[in-house]
Structure 1
Amino acid sequence: MKFIFVFLALLFVTPASADDGIITKSSNHSVKDTISRFAAAVKSREGAGFIVFTEIDHAAAGKKFGIDMRPRTVVIFGNPKLGTPVMAKTPKLAIDNPPKALVWEDDQGKVWLSYNSADYLYKTIYPRHGLETPPNYAAFTKVLNDITDEATK
């Protein structure tokens, strides 16, 4: 009986990152340096239309109200050349786009970079708004991987 319970428990328990659409990479750098490297990697692709819109420092916001938290900074970035025409036709897409990256530090001081996969964006977010997967899907997957590798390695 114990064996059956363990088997069923293993069958229905999956890792948190298995199907949630979030890719998390370990960074070899501090939070500040990872953010800077990420921004530089995005900006280096400005000719293709990529920009950093803004950063949101959740730890600084919490500190303003007396709440301490390890670093948690969201970097909002994207490609207005590609995204703006889609948002012009589908305004509510703007609630989910542009893409974001989260640079954060865990309780042991290790730095991580997390972001929604292109797969999640195009197979979950786009359908939510009645959109089909665009033809640049594979290219965006590669760009996300390259940018995040440049930030973390």
Structure 2
Amino acid sequence: MKFLGIALMMLMMSSVARADEGMKTEASKYGFQDTQARLEKVLKEKGLTVFAIIDHAEGAHQAGLKMNSATVTIFGNPKGGTPFMVSAPKAAIDFPLKALVWADAAGKVWVGYNTVSWIVERHHIEGQDELTKKLDGLLAAIAKAATE
């Protein structure tokens, strides 16, 4: 029985570690509002469509709760995401792409995003290596432009 408990704990720990594997984060030199504005600006400059902006802190406020600033921006371009969804329809849960801008407990602002490589691995997508590499590079450039 003790062995089962240890095995279960190890499985849970590996699941937590795996959940963070695909998320990249960049510390921002700017405050929350400026980082979010820079993110939106670079997305538009890159010709990407911003589909939605979800302000989690505002939602918390409306529910009478408090949380640090946290905004998810959903963005993309059908030419980038569609080939992945054609290969694996369930990948649509991860497209369009998303970026999270948040302030941690110390007030430090961050930008985070899931890599396309992680999405490809998660959905066992094959044959999209070149596009995956291109989009991973684009996401890294977007995060860098928003934070530096």
The answer to whether TM tops 0.5 is: yes
3-state DSSP class of the match of 1:28? coil
Q: Distance in 1 between matches of 2:18 and 2:34?
A: 25
Aligned residue number for residue 38 of structure 1: 39
Gaps of 5+ in 2: 1-12
Maintained 8 Å contact 1:87/1:93: yes
Comparing 134-143 and 99-108, the one that deviates more:
134-143
Q: Secondary structure at 1:136's aligned position in 2? A: helix
Cα deviation, residue 87, structure 1? 3.6
Match of 1:21 in 2: 22
Select 1:144's aligned residue among 94, 117, 139. Answer: 139
The structure richer in helix per residue is 2
Partner of residue 67, structure 1: 65
What amino acid does structure 1 have at the position aligned with 2:71? Answer: T
Query: Within 2, Cα distance between the matches of 1:81 and 1:87?
Result: 11
- The answer (yes or no) to whether the contact 1:70–1:105 under 8 Å persists in 2 is yes
2:76: which partner in 1? Answer: 78
State the shift of 1:33 in Å.
1.1
SS of 2:52 mapped into structure 1 = strand
Unmatched runs of 5 consecutive residues or more in structure 1? 1-11
Query: Taking structure 1 as the reference length, what is the TM-score of the superposition?
Result: 0.76
When the two structures are aligned, how many residues end up with a matched partner?
Answer: 134
Q: Is the 8 A contact 2:87 2:126 kept in 1?
A: no
> What letter matches 2:143 in structure 1?
T
| Equivalent residue letter for 1:30 | G
TM-score w.r.t. the length of structure 2 is 0.79
Counterpart residue number, 2:126: 132
Structure 1 match to 2:92 = 94
Q: Give, in whole Å, the separation in 1 of the partners of 2:56 and 2:147.
A: 20
How far residue 78 of structure 1 moved from its aligned partner, in angstroms, is 1.3
- Displacement, 1:91? 4.2
Task: Determine the C-alpha separation between the residues in 1 that align with 2:88 and 2:116.
Answer: 19
**Which residue identity is paired with 1:92?**
K
